[in-house]
Amino acid sequence: MDCRVRSQPFVCVTTDFVESDLEWERREYEAANIIYRTNQLKTAKSAQLVAATRDADVLVVDQAQIGREVVAELSSCRLILRHGDGYDNLDIEAATEAGIVCANEPGFWSREVAEQALALALSLTLKLPIQQTVAREGSTRGWNYEKVTPYWTLGSRTAGIIGFGRTGTFACKLFSPLALRVLVHDPSASKTAIKEAGGVFVGREELLEASDIVSIHIPANPDTIGLFNSALIGKMKRGAILINVSRGSIVDTEALYEALLRGQLSGAGLDVTNPEPLPQGHPLFSVPNVIITPHMGWYSEDALWKLRRQIVADVCAVRDGKLPLSVINPEVLKSDHRRLNPG
């Protein structure tokens, strides 16, 4: 890793992390003469975050909420770097106003997220959670197949992909050899690219009405938060399965629960929830054909190590006056009060 060592202090602070430890990062930064501090402040209030980060030149953030109050106190910060794809926990507007570059690390686990979506879809189509219950109860009373039948193979089902970014593209490619057909809705996507991935471009209403499985692959933003409310879920094909591996806030949790209870949906696979995590004893845990996983769709050791290396490379780049790999707010570079002036 090419990090030119220089004498003046440069501080990188991690607010929170999912790795077992950050000792590899610590050694890399030490070799590059970068002061490095780590915290576990995922749910911390603004005051606690400010106290831990106010002298940071670079802030590396996983799930901590970096709002306007925190940004206002980051007097030295040149870069706020999101550990992963989504950045709905960062106040991009406030950072841009302050002249701070924001960046993320997209695409490192796009295939992993798509595989999670496929795994959830297969499990729910075959009613594996209910099959497990039947097998468990059968140890004393015999197997009650009426609880689990009927169900169909994925080969007879239509899958719908909402969003054709990196994960949506992988999802389309994974679903298309197995499903009867794959419908895709993304107004900004190339119809040719969708066709090449094995999908068919359709409007959102058509996708919802025709799909037995709907898999969500869109970011959380003001246009998508709460998108899957009772009205939109009500437009889905009766008995369909909903998969969410994007952001929990896109789906109205109460509307989803009610749709499952009345049979509008026959199952749901959620790697993300709202709130996250769901509180103990939440009603969704008691619905038979629902699988809830702990936001692990992103994970594989291969993807995580690629991400870790890129984060260190981005921190070093900014220390040397260069841009990180993926800038979220490029408009800040045109600002008179920008703090990073890449050569």
Catalytic residue numbers? 247, 276, 295
For 41, list phi and psi in degrees, rounded to 5. Answer: -120, 40
Token code pair at residue 314: 């981005």
Secondary structure of 272-314 in HEC code, one letter for each residue: CCCCCCCCCCCHHHHCCCEEECCCCCCCCHHHHHHHHHHHHHH
DSSP state of 82: E
Dmax of the chain from CA atoms?
Answer: 75
Contacts of 136 (CB under 8 A, 6+ apart): none
Contacts of 179 (CB under 8 A, 6+ apart): 154, 155, 157, 158, 159, 213
DSSP state of 206: H
Token code pair at residue 58: 């670079």
Q: How many helices (H) and strands (E) does the chain have?
A: 12, 12
CB 106 within 8 Å of CB 85: yes
Contacts of 64 (CB under 8 A, 6+ apart): 15, 16, 41, 42, 43, 44, 49, 89
CB 276 within 8 Å of CB 244: no
Whether cis (ω within 30° of 0) applies to the bond prior to 150 is yes
DSSP string, 193-236: HHHHTT-EE--HHHHHHH-SEEEE----STTTTT-B-HHHHHTS
CB 201 within 8 Å of CB 189: yes
Find residue 13's DSSP bridge partners.
37, 59
Token code pair at residue 204: 């959102």
Q: Look-up: residue for tokens 């695409």? A: 107
